[in-house]
Amino acid sequence: MKLFFYRFRMLHRIPSVFIGACRSLVSFCSENIQAIKDRTSLSSLLVSKQEDLPVKRMKDSYLEVFLPLGSQPSLREKYLNVHNFVRFGRILEDLDSFGVLISYNHMKSENGSRSPFSIVTALVDEIDLCQKHILPDCDLKFTGNVSWVGKTSMEVQMHLSQYYDGVFTPVLNATFVMVTRDPENKGPAFVNPLKAETPEEEDILRKGKLNKLKRINISQQSLFKMAPNEEERKLIHELFLNTLDPRTVSFRSRVLSENSVWIAETKLKGLEICHPQERNIHNKIFGGFLMRKAFELGWANACIYGNSRPHVVAVDDIIFQKPVEIGSLLYLSSQVCYTQQNHIQVRVHSEVVNPYTKEHSTTNVFHFTFCSDKEVARVTPKTYGESMLYLDGKRHFKPYGKQNQVASHEESDISK
């Protein structure tokens, strides 16, 4: 701060356009400092145990939001991709914002007072698509509600449908996990309990509990913690044997089989400078922005690998490990880690880099399943680390999503 104010005192040497920019920066800093003070004062509104919070119903958090792409050409322009369809990266941004909005609706005080909670996205559990493309000239409808709660976290289920030929047609189903923090975003805060009012809602709560147990089991079985199972070990050994040169009796002589590519040759990287325009209400980089950038890099990699335009089938298990600060250098590294017929599994790893200490910190890992118009080359691991990457990709591989299982809220009683 001393250096900043020293430079501010030297403004008589700087052109007026920069003086205005510096004044805006000072105002921005002052507003954020005041906002932090205001948030700190809200800590007194937090409860000491979950039972002190009122029990909420699913309909209390239910929301519908319309995106009028069909009637607003200016809005449509923002969502249009080069192939004249809706950019899926923009939909990811909207889902992240919508999930937070639903969560705040669940946590809303009955007396209308200011919320003391900070709600952030912890995990994108899954996004399953039921259409190859989203039309740019038809209105979209987002619906969703809180479907399960723990002590400090909640599961949010969202649906996207598109108005076409007189009816709303399902586009995708998404499940996010949100966490509730204190006003300063330094520690956890309790979530309002959730109750079911109908047999349908009881089933939704039960599935939410099973989802939580599934996530715990997946975490415990992670290849970063446990060795591959017997079936996976056999697969890796078979892949290894298929790459040995039959003309030599050596484990070192490796050759690619026909129509195959080494995993190491499937990388595509990018860099983003995290500007303040992409910040969220907590003065961190917006999670939807990170998802959009990761998806677009992953899509480009799948496009190059498959030599044709791919379409996304599923998004799986995006974990937000660490917030990204404004001004960070964000490294994005994508890699094709598994293939099957015309499907391509892409893993995108994001990390922030301190340019002064050269320290790297992982912030997110993204998993995308794409489908190409034609059969693609098989990806093949060469090292043990690449073999683990291959198995991890296979575990996250979802070739068909839930195309026949995406439900719209027109069939549900939650909104009524």
Looking at residue 410, its pLDDT comes to 45
Residues of the chain with pLDDT under 50: 1-33, 35, 403-411
Q: How far apart are CA 230 and CA 357, in angstroms?
A: 42
* CB-side neighbour CA atoms (13 Å) of 36: 9
Count of positions (residues) in the chain:
416
Nearby residues of 96 by Cβ (< 8 Å), 6 or more positions away: 121, 176, 286, 287, 288, 291
What is the DSSP code (8-state) at residue 346?
E
Report CA dihedral (49, 55, 57, 58) to the nearest 10 degrees: 0
Closest of 235, 67, 208 to residue 150, by C-alpha: 208
Alpha helical stretches, state H, 127-284: 199-220, 230-242
Looking at residue 9, its pLDDT comes to 34
Predicted TM-score of the model (pTM): 0.83
Number of C-beta neighbours around residue 242 at 10 A: 14
N-term to C-term CA, the chain = 54
Phi first, then psi: what are they for 287, rounded to 5°?
-60, -35
Q: Quick check: helix, strand or coil at residue 409?
A: helix
Residue indicated by tokens 């959009």:
292
| Residue/partner pairs of 80-85 with CB below 8 Å, 24 or more apart | 80/136, 83/133, 83/309, 84/136, 85/133, 85/134, 85/135, 85/136
Q: How far apart are CA 117 and CA 161, in angstroms?
A: 30
- In 303-342, DSSP assigns E strands to 311-320, 329-340
When the candidates are 3.10.129.10, 3.40.50.300, 3.20.20.100, 3.40.50.2300, the CATH number that belongs to 230-396 is 3.10.129.10
Secondary element (H or E) of residue 393: helix 384-396
Q: How far is CA 369 from CA 62, 126, 223, 407, in A?
A: 29, 11, 20, 21
Copy the structure tokens of residue 326.
């404004």
Looking at residue 252, its pLDDT comes to 74
**CB contact at 8 A, 363 and 352:** yes
Looking at residue 31, its pLDDT comes to 45
What is the DSSP code (8-state) at residue 104?
H
Phi first, then psi: what are they for 223, rounded to 5°?
-70, -15
**CB contact at 8 A, 361 and 352:** yes
Q: How far is CA 80 from CA 34, 77, 161, 365, in A?
A: 38, 5, 17, 26
Beta bridge partners of 285: 279
CATH superfamily of 47-220: Hotdog Thioesterase (3.10.129.10)
Phi first, then psi: what are they for 229, rounded to 5°?
-75, 175
Residue type present at position 161: S
**CB contact at 8 A, 396 and 314:** no
Q: How far is CA 341 from CA 59, 282, 311, 344, 372, in A?
A: 43, 43, 14, 8, 9
Q: How far apart are CA 318 and CA 44, in angstroms?
A: 33
Nearby residues of 290 by Cβ (< 8 Å), 6 or more positions away: 324, 330, 350, 363, 364
